[in-house]
Amino acid sequence: MISRRDWIGFTAGAGVALALNRRILFAQGNIITRAIPSTGEKLPVVGLGTANTFSATARGPEADSLREVLKVMLEAGGTVVDSAPGYGASEEVSGRLAADLGASSKIFWATKVNVAGRGGSANRDEAIAQIERSFQLLKKPKIDLIQVHNLGDVPTQLGILKEFKQQGRVRYIGVTTTSDNQYGQLEQIMRNEPLDFIEVDYSLANRNVEDVILPLAIERKIGVIPALPFGRESLFRRVEGKPLPDWAKEIDATTWSHYFLKYIIGHPAVTVAIPGTRNPAHMKDNMGAAFGRLPDEAMRKRMIEYFDSVALPAPAGRGGRGN
């Protein structure tokens, strides 16, 4: 078993060789896919989130690493890239890099709309303009998924998305929130609206959605995207220096990244996890979780027990987004 730190050191030392032989890392068979409940279309269970990571790195000296991150995901068989206008330059950067790689049409683009602000009302024209801007930046005539970000004025903005879907310009629609105090509202929306997807905070360290939201998603045939699979980037700190259990090999988990991701994608409600990274080595590591075996319910309980027994307490407050 190797740690994420060891994995990074190995990939840094073997840089050129690994760049030429990425597929060797994913020689465990075909990538695992999960069906979108509303249509049956299948998606690879690990994709890429761009909150903070793409926007920040695009303006720094490591911008070239983002292109490599996308290449690693695509070559491993991943397709889903999640972004939002609220993520700074993330849409612009990911759209441009995908076009540079000739991969715009290969990516399942998931983005968002929200011009409402906190507790405010959305201006219809501004919301439509924001969506049109996403079409321009992602360089795709039909966007795969647009969701109402942070449940912002859902009646107005979800209504607009329904129109875009009816027109054939958007394939799937949904809503997102990573705030536990909005889950009551989310539940009502899930029961009353024709959603294809929801995006929520779900990780081994935050399992609140397992009680109501995930079972309801299965019942209502709504896809689930865990936006924070590494617990707002705190999980690696909490297990630093701790070994993986020997039995992790039973689910082909050889790093903590595999362990964390396989736990959440092992839940039958989850469609695709979107860990964010600006580091190609991390992307390789993350994509490895989409191969091999996944845990059943008994194994997932065992994973919880071990994590709870070795992890350091959660840091005070809430850290930055992990996607």
Amino acid at position 279, single letter: N
247-274: per-residue pLDDT in tens?
999 999 999 999 999 999 999 999 999 9
Question: What number is the average pLDDT over the span 125-137?
Answer: 97
Tell me how far apart the alpha carbons of residues 278 and 70 are, in angstroms, rounded to a whole number.
9
β partners of residue 34 = 43
pLDDT at 2: 43
Residue 61 has pLDDT above 90, yes or no: no
Residue 14 has pLDDT above 60, yes or no: no
pTM above 0.85, yes or no: yes
Residue 147 has pLDDT above 70, yes or no: yes
Question: What number is the average pLDDT over the span 293-312?
Answer: 97
Mean pLDDT taken over the chain: 89
Residue 1 has pLDDT above 70, yes or no: no
pLDDT at 214: 98
Task: Tell me which of 22 and 70 has the higher pLDDT.
Answer: 70
Question: What number is the average pLDDT over the span 1-14?
Answer: 45
Q: How far is CA 78 from CA 54, 282, 320, in A?
A: 17, 14, 24
The lowest-confidence range among 33-42, 45-54, 219-228 is 45-54
210-249: per-residue pLDDT in tens?
999 999 999 999 999 999 999 876 899 999 999 999 999 9
pLDDT at 59: 60
> Would you give the DSSP letter of residue 29?
S
- How many other C-beta atoms are found inside a 10 Å radius of the C-beta of residue 292? 18
Buried b / exposed e over 192-219, threshold 16 CB at 10 Å, is ebebbbbbbbbbbbbeebeeebbebbee
Answer yes or no: CATH 3.20.20.100 is held by domain 4-10+34-310. yes
pLDDT at 134: 97
For the chain, give every domain's residue range.
4-10+34-310
Tell me how far apart the alpha carbons of residues 305 and 77 are, in angstroms, rounded to a whole number.
32
